[in-house]
Amino acid sequence: MKKVMILCAAVLFSQAVAAETYQDAFNKARAMYGKGHEFQWQGKTYQTLHEEEIEADVDATEANAKALLEKAVAANKKVADVGFEWKLTGGLLKQSAQAIDAGDYRKALDLAAQAKYHARIGFAQYGYAQANWIKAVPQ
Amino acid sequence: MRIITGLVTVGMLSLGLPLQAADSGFNLETVNPEADRLALQAFYKKRYPDVKIEDYVNGIYALDAESHEQWQEIEEFPPYEFSIEEGEVLFNAPFANGKTYADCFENGGIGIRQNFPYWDKEDGTVKTLEYAINECREDNGDKPLKWGKGDIARISAYMAWTSRDNVFEIQIPQDDSRALQAYLDGKKFFYTKRGQLNLSCANCHLQGSNIRIRADLPGPMLGQVTHWPVFRSKWGNLGTLHRRYAGCHRDSRSKPLKPQAEGFRNLEYFQTYMSNGLVVNGPGARK
C-alpha cells in the first residue's frame, strides 16, 4: 500500500516540477502583474517584458522605428508563409508605417512591436499545431 | 491492494491515451477516412444519443429545440426560394458560344450536388461545385463569377435544389495518393488552432457544438456542409460555404484564405466526406 502511495506521489510531483518551465513562470507573472514586473525563476530574476517590448524601448527616432517595422514585416511574412497570419497584424503594420510618415515614431515603434509579437506568437502556434492537432480528433 | 494497484494502472494508462490516439490517422500511411467518419458519428451518438444521425443535416436545429422551432417558422417561407428560381434562369442561360452549364456537367448538371467536391486526377486538385461552375464559364469563354455570393451562389443553390435527398457519396480514389493527401490536409486544417483567439474549426463545431458562444450556438461538424449554399439572416442574402469559412476565420482573428483556395477546397473535401451517407438538403436558411 505504502509503495503504491509513494509511486502516486512521485508521478504527481515529477509532473508538477516538470511543468514549471521558464515560459510558464513568465506567463504566470505576466498574467498576474502585467508588464515590467520582476519575477524569480530557478534562482534568477527576470522581468515580465516581451522581447518586442524591449525592442520598442529605444529612442523614438525614424531609424529605430523603421528598423523595428522592418523586423515586424519579416516576422509576419514568415508566419504568413506557413498559413498562420493573424487578422489584425497587417493593419498594425500599415498603421506603423503611417505613423512613421507622420513623424510619430513612438507610436510607430509600439505598433510595430505589437505586430511583431502577433507574428511571433502566430509562428509558435504553427509549431504547436504541427505536433498537437491530432489530439482533438475523435478516435 | 489489488484494487488500488488496478486503479493506479488505469490512471497511468489514461495518461498515455492522448499519445496513443495520435498514432492513428496522423499521416498518409495511417489515415483512414472511413474510420474517421465512423468515429465522428460515434462521437455524436455518444454525446447526443437521442439525435438520429440523418437529422444532422439540419445542423444546430437537430440539437436545439428552440432554434429548431424558429427555423421551422423561417422555412414556411424560405428566404432562399427566389434565389433558386433566379439560379435556374442563370443555369439555363446560354453562353456567348451557345452552350450552357448543362454541357459541362454529368447528367446535364441536374441532381449531381452529392458528388461534389471531387478529386480531379488530371488537374491533381479538389474541385468544388462552385469551382466547377466557374471552370465551366471560363471553358466557354465567359468571365468567372465572384466566389462568395451573388450569381454563383444562386446557380449553386439551384443545382443543390435539384439534388435534394440525394445521398452524399464523396470518393477518395485509391489509385492516387494525392487525393488522400488532400483529404488529410483538410482534416488537419479542421483540427488545427489558428488566429489570435487560438481556435480550430473543431473547437467550435466539434467540442463546442451546441455550446453557447455569447448568443450563438455553433452547429455540429457532422452534416455541416450538406445544406449549402445558405441564406444567412446575418448576411441578408445567399452565400457560399467558402464565404462562411472566411467569416469563421475572421471571427477567430485569423487571416482567412481566399474562397476556393486549395486549403479551403481540401477542408470542404474532408468535411463532405465526413457527411457521406447524409442527404443533400441545400440550399438552407440559417441565422
Answer whether B193 sits within 8 Å of A125, measured CB to CB: yes
Choice between B16 and B82, residue whose per-residue pLDDT is larger: B82
- The answer to whether the Cβ–Cβ distance between B191 and A8 falls below 8 Å is no
Residues of B within 8 A of A138 (CB-CB) are: 39-40, 42-43, 206
**Alpha helices, H only, A45-88:** 51-56, 62-81
Domains B30-78+176-286 and B81-161 share a fold: yes
Cell numbers found for residue B230: 445558405
Percent of chain A predicted with pLDDT > 90:
83
CB neighbourhood size of B173 (10 A): 12
The answer to whether residues A121 and A62 belong to one domain is yes
C-alpha angle B114-B161-B246 in degrees, rounded to nearest 5? 70
A85/B4 Cβ within 8 A? no
Asked if A129 and B250 come within 8 Å (Cβ–Cβ), the reply is no
Mutate to test the interface with B, among A85, A92, A134, A135 (most CBs of B within 10 A): A134
Same domain, A123 and A58: yes
Give the orientation angle of helix B151-161 with respect to helix B129-139, to 10 degrees. Answer: 110
Burial classification of residue B186, based on how many CB atoms lie within 10 Å of its CB (0-12 exposed, 13-18 middle, 19 or more buried) = buried
Distance from the A106 Cα atom to the nearest Cα atom in chain B, whole angstroms: 24
Contacts of B43 in chain A (CB under 8 A): 138
A135/B18 Cβ within 8 A: yes
Enumerate helices (H) and strands (E) in chain A, giving the number of each.
6, 2
* DSSP secondary structure code for residue B125 in this structure: E
Residues in chain A: 139
DSSP string covering B148-201: SBTHHHHHHHHHHHTTTTPBP-----TT-HHHHHHHHHHHHHHH--BTTTTB-H
- Segment 28-67 of chain B within 8 Å of chain A by CB: 36, 39-40, 42-43
**pLDDT computed for residue B18 by the predictor:** 41
Pick the CATH number of B30-78+176-286 from 1.20.1260.10, 3.10.20.30, 3.20.20.370, 1.10.760.10: 1.10.760.10
pLDDT number for residue B214: 86
Give the pLDDT confidence score for residue A25 in this predicted structure: 95
Sheet strands (E) in B206-256: 230-232, 237-239
Contact A52, A114 (CB under 8 A): yes
pLDDT in tens, B67-120: 999 999 999 999 999 999 999 999 999 999 999 999 999 999 999 999 999 999
Asked if B193 and A135 come within 8 Å (Cβ–Cβ), the reply is: no
Over range A108-133, report the average pLDDT.
96
pLDDT for residue B11: 42
- Please check whether residue A9 touches B, CB under 8 A: no
Same structural domain, A65 and A80: yes
> Coil, helix or strand for B1?
coil
| Beta strand spans in chain A (E) | 38-41, 44-47
Are A80 and A21 in a shared domain?
Answer: no
Pick the last residue of a domain from A47, A68, A83.
A47
Does A90 share its domain with A116? yes
Pick from A4, A86, A90: CB nearest B196? A86
Pairing assessment for the beta strands B230-232 and B237-239 based on DSSP bridges: antiparallel
pLDDT digits (tens, 9 = 90+) for B135-150: 999 999 999 999 999 9
CATH pick for B81-161 out of 3.40.605.10, 1.10.760.10, 3.40.50.720, 2.60.120.1440: 1.10.760.10
Inter-chain residue contact A4 with B1, CB threshold 8 Å:
yes
pLDDT value at residue A139 = 82
Which structural domain, as residue segments, surrounds residue A18?
2-47
Pairwise CB contact (< 8 Å): A136 & B42: no
CB proximity list for B2: less than 8 A, separation 6 or greater:
none
In this structure, the answer to whether residues A69 and A123 fall within a common structural domain is yes
Question: Which of A125, A128, A130, A137 to probe the B interface (max B CBs under 10 A)?
Answer: A137
Shared domain for A33 and A80, answered yes or no, is no
The ipTM, to two decimals, is 0.83
Residues A35 and A18 both lie in one domain: yes
* Residues facing residue B194 across a β-bridge: B199
Whether residue B1 has pLDDT greater than 50:
no
- Secondary structure element (H or E) that encloses residue B242, with its range: helix B241-251
Whether residues A41 and A66 share a domain: the answer is no
Residue B248: active-site member: yes
Are the C-beta atoms of residues B136 and B124 closer than 8 Å to each other?
Answer: no
Same domain, A129 and A108: yes
Contacts of A118 in chain B (CB under 8 A): 196
| A64, A30: one domain | no
What is the rounded distance in angstroms from the CA atom of residue A132 to the CA atom of residue B234? 34
Residues A78-83: what's their mean pLDDT? 96
How does residue B220 score in pLDDT terms, banded at 50, 70 and 90?
A: very high
Inter-residue contact B222 to B41 (CB < 8 Å): yes
Residues of B in contact with A9 (CB under 8 A): none
Strand B284-286 to B230-232 pairing? parallel
Could you tell me if B210 and B63 are in contact, meaning their C-beta atoms sit under 8 angstroms apart? Answer: yes
Count interface pairs A-B at CB distance under 8 A. 78
DSSP H or E stretch at residue A27: helix A22-33
User: Shortest Cα distance from B22 to chain A (angstroms)?
Assistant: 5
- Whether chain B has a CB inside 8 Å of the CB on A4: the answer is yes
What is the rounded CA–CA span in Å between residue A39 and residue A48?
7
Backbone angles phi, psi at B260, to 5 degrees: 70, 10
Kindly report, residue by residue over B160-193, the tens digit of the pLDDT: 999 999 999 999 999 999 999 999 999 999 999 9
Give the Cα separation of B197 and A86 in Å (integer).
9
Query: Do A111 and A64 share a domain, yes or no?
Result: yes
Which of A80, A85, A139 faces B21 most closely, judged by CB atoms?
A: A139
Closest CA in chain B for residue A115: B196
Please name the helix (run of DSSP H) or strand (run of DSSP E) that holds residue B6, with its range, or none.
Answer: helix B2-21
Task: Give residue-wise pLDDT tens across range B256-284.
Answer: 999 999 999 999 999 999 999 999 999 99
Q: Closest chain A residue to B24 measured between Cα atoms?
A: A139
**Exposed, middle or buried by CB within 10 Å (0-12, 13-18, 19+), for A129?**
buried
Residues of B in contact with A128 (CB under 8 A): 193
How distant is the Cα of B69 from the closest Cα of chain A, in angstroms? 30
pLDDT tens across A26-58, in order? Answer: 999 999 999 999 999 999 999 999 999 999 999
How many CB atoms within 10 Å of residue B6? 10
Q: Where are the domains positioned within chain B?
A: 30-78+176-286, 81-161
Please give the sequence-ordered ranges of beta strands (E in DSSP) within B16-128, or none if there are none: 118-120, 125-127
Residues in chain B with CB shorter than 8 Å from the CB of A125 are 193-194, 198
Number of domains in chain A: 2
